[in-house]
Structure 1
Amino acid sequence: MEILGNIKTYDWGSLGSQSKVAQLALKNDENFAKEFNESTPYAELWMGDHVSGPSLIKATGESISKIIENDNSSIGGTKSLPFLFKVLSITKPLSIQVHPNKEQAERLHASRPDVYKDPNHKPEISIALTDFLALCGFRTPTELYNLLKKYQPLTDLIGGDTIDELQKQPNNESIKMCYTKLMHSPQEEIVKCIAELSSIFKEGKEDATLTKVFDHCNHYFPNDIGVLSIFFLNIVQMKPGQAIFLAANVPHAYLSGDCIECMACSDNVIRAGLTPKFKDVETLLEMLDFTGNTVEEKFFQSIPVGPYSELFKPPVKDFAVIQVKVPNSVQNYCIENRSNGSIIIVLKGNASAAFKGRELFELKEGSIVFVPACIKSVGLTFNHSDQDGFIAYQALYNDF
């Protein structure tokens, strides 16, 4: 059945028709088209039954949550979908954050339910739809040492002796020492350090990517401690189709671009910077994974599962994502479903689709389909009008 996503208008979203979220919604949602405004930041398109924004059945306007509640066989007998599927459009940086693992989430929710809203973990995968910029995980001890030593304002803030531990003992503990020193730094010292670094970067002689990210973060969050976290974390530049997996306690932030995201259903976030919201510094430092990696190690690789399908299979059961990319030369293709149902969104192209034994319906750019568990596959016949062929993403339970 065709569904409509729930649109979120957070401050960091891309404005109006610059937003991929808005572009897709305008193709598929008549009510959204009536309310569309070029000055509104359209940040997220939610697809699923999350209590904070369940999708609606396109034909009736009924919540997908009620459909599942009335017949949970549509998702294999479970109470709700284990994942939330999204499209994100980002102009301003999102907060630098981590998500607790399942055990930590249960403990935090029990002790502070006002801050940590549920007892679930929140692993995520992000797949770039456009050029996409993110922070993900700590740099290696060697790279971090060289970077902190290169810039005197950072050396003054963190302390030369503390930084030297990265060279003497290049491990998680030395990274933790340096980052703990940063997170405990007085605000006046943070302001001084950022001002001095800003003067250095204005000379235009530093690494172009680092300069771009520093200016971007400092523009939207001047004098925020998160501006200095960019020196500690990997700057990941993604091309369309590339992905990162964000496991529990891995620090990360989305900085700009459009992406597909799939995550376990949870609202648990521990913030470290680039935000006016509450920063739970001590909980953050307790739970952070301080493992240092190279940028290359942060990319998450897909697995071919068909002639035109790639599976992004994270090490959690809550979700997986399949990219379907069918060239113009192919006239028919079949998307397989799984035992707990799935959600499909079309990014490019047009096709006539058929669930077994049911009438044909049109799938086009922006179309979103909930495929219940009783349907084994979706047959597609293409009306190729896009030079890129047909591109869709499918979110499903990870029972591979």
Structure 2
Amino acid sequence: MFHYKTGLDFALEQDRNDKLKAYRNQFHIPKNQDGSDCIYMTGNSLGLQPKNTKAYVNQELDDWAQLGVEGHFEAKNPWLPYHEFLTKSMANVVGAKPIEVVVMNTLTANLHFMMVSFYQPTKTRYKILIESDAFPSDKYAVESQLRHHGFDDKDGLVLWKPRKGEELLNYEDLQTILQEQGQEIALIMIGGVNYYTGQYFDLKRITQLGHEYGCKVGFDCAHGAGNVQLNLHDSGADFAVWCTYKYLNSGPGSLAGCFVHERHAHNKNLNRFTGWWSHNKATRFNMRNEFDQLPGAEGWQLSNPPILSMAAIKASLDMFSEVGIEQLTEKSKKLTGYFEFLLKQLGEDTIRIITPENPNERGCQLSIQVKNADKSLHDKLTQAGVISDWREPDVIRCAPTPFYNSFEDVYRLAEKLKTILNE
């Protein structure tokens, strides 16, 4: 158990002893009008830019300028196999085997491609189970899949809801749903870390439960990749998808990641959409061959990827490879625990944290409800130099990310919040 103390001296001491402190200076941190660093607490929405990103992208721009089409083979990092440069490090981040991971497309596009393969409804087993407060994009996607297959999107959608007066989801309730409707549910698709509450679900437990009832199981890990140790392979999930612009710091709208468990790697009978980038690499450019599917997650690719976006992802993943997700999550738990400790000093009759208290059931996000507060509180924080995140109806999300947030950041955020509340 880590013991926290009040006062700035404690925060500064933690920063001096932080093994990862040098990485803060490897990111561009937005500035206040007086030139000081903002307190940036929205890595859960958009991670900051690593200072080396520009050099990685410029390398590809230079090779394009100097080599033209020959850059596919002659660039410093040849473009033809470029996605392969990301595979091992991305697999390490999400706890998977390289054959199970590919960087491609964007998040919701990948979710649809996965449902083409893993949502195979019948007349009697056609329902999709999601958490009741899933990220809207996930809900829209699964509803459209139901409609696409000719089912009613209200009848076919099963919602795992929190109990009355609670925000967090209970696994016993999931088990009850499956006992009652499991034979009708074709797919369970849960956000690995809920965007609103920050609850990190037990992926393995959910997967085992779903498989017990014959359901396919997938996860949207947009708020988990780079934030928690997902251990996707060990979870046994059929698939997972995630974006790279949050905790993976790859830039707005950047490419996404996809996981397909290795037990499906060589199953050519799985229904899927295909394109020439999922075709055998050795004969891809012969052009007139019949389709010959690649094994593993690569076999779900469609098109040649945008190299400039991949270069930005590579810049970030190279840092993750240097540090390792284990060290990052170790610091994350200390930072988030410190933030929780300081918020509790403000009085639990004023501040309510809806994110789980157990560090193993959350990442670095804390979702805060302030009694009798509205969005004006968030606006005042912004004016005070804090970039945080408001989510309707009454939650401020803050994510002290371990790569670039410091204990001093956390301390100063709590002090600014205290000042505003006392006004």
What interval of TM-score do these two structures reach, taking the shorter chain for normalisation? under 0.3
TM-score scaled by structure 2?
A: 0.24
Higher helix share: 2
TM-score scaled by structure 1?
A: 0.25
Higher strand share: 1
